[in-house]
Amino acid sequence: MVTVEGRAVVLALNSGSSSLKYGLYAVDPEPVLLVGGTIETLDDDSDDHARFLDTIETALKGWPTPTVIGHRIVHGGPHRHAHCRIDDAVMADMEAACAFAPLHGPASLALIRAAGARYPGVPQVACFDTAFHAGMPDVAKTLPIPRAYQAAGVRRYGFHGLSCESIVRQLGGDMPARLVIAHLGNGASVTAVRDGRSIDTSMGLTPSGGVMMATRTGDIDPGVLLYLLRETELDAKALATLVDHAAGMTGISGLSGDMRVLRAAATEDADLAIRMFERSVCKQVAAMIASLGGADMLVLTGGIGENDRLTGRAVRDGLAWMSGLEIRILPSQEDAQIALHAGVLA
């Protein structure tokens, strides 16, 4: 058993769009996983986060009580550009940022409150997925709408930042000057990294843009959305549900957004959904290569990127024109990144 004496003991909570991952880490200075697991939440309509913590606490039985709790927060909003300890002001900013990430924000806030009630007095740290992209140049972060809207925080933020951080950390001295990271899972994004820093990324104001995803449209002609508002009975709420929950591979296949289910189904619509996803990934990777002025390495990560060999093969084939591009598969270690930051900020 790993000894924890003298180390920060971090409970890392990674609340995503389809699951809640947790891990108890001893950190000094590198994170060492003591115990962890995943709670599937995609089909769970409950907002009882105390129940999720019951499951986690059972798994942690016999291990030391956390000295700090770290949370993955998808959207930091316009006022939070770096990971930080959570206080009332941070909570208020995260509440406001829910307007940008309604799929993720409210659940994360509920989890923070539940964890505070379960572990009173234990400091909590917010680790923002947007932080990795905070230094993007203006040509990447500015959206092509009237500049007046920027004052309200309407710009490109970028997401999956903790995943990107973990790839940069794993590569270490092997990290090339021009790197593209494709995080492919239920949510998917592609990021251009120059000398370890994000310079462009496929997701924008919200986690709905960029690559076509399991249930999200990804990039789409805005005229389609205007048409649906104007010519159908969809209102803003219904349109939001379509964009985030009923589109992507789910909408095309009429079956599921889970790549494993689509592979097994082998129907014409499932095949089309897969091919559209693969094409979308290749197009976004090519866009990031253009932003970098060429690329030395592409890393595939995330649930699909790490585990679906056929997607990996399709991406390799789709980028065969890019000579000299090294393609690697590395695990997304978001939880370890959360533990690292929380250990420092506790």
Closest residue by Cα to residue 180 from 293, 262, 19, 307: 293
- Confirm whether 129 is a catalytic residue: yes
What is the C-alpha to C-alpha distance for residues 336 and 104, in angstroms, rounded to an integer? 20
Cα 166 to Cα 12, 80, 336, 337, distances in angstroms: 14, 20, 8, 6
Q: Which long-range contacts (CB under 8 A, 24 or more apart) does 97-104 make?
A: 100/75, 100/153, 100/157, 100/205, 100/206, 101/74, 101/75, 101/206, 101/207, 102/240, 102/244, 103/17, 103/74, 103/207, 103/244, 104/15, 104/16, 104/17, 104/74, 104/75, 104/207
Cα 247 to Cα 78, 103, 213, distances in angstroms: 27, 14, 8
Structure tokens at 103: 């799929």
* Residue in the block written with tokens 């940069």: 168
Q: State the catalytic residue, choosing from 43, 48, 93, 129.
A: 129
Structure tokens at 145: 């709408």
**Main-chain dihedrals φ then ψ at residue 345, nearest 5 degrees:** -90, -5
| Cβ–Cβ under 8 Å, residues 237 and 273 | no
Catalytic residue annotation: 129
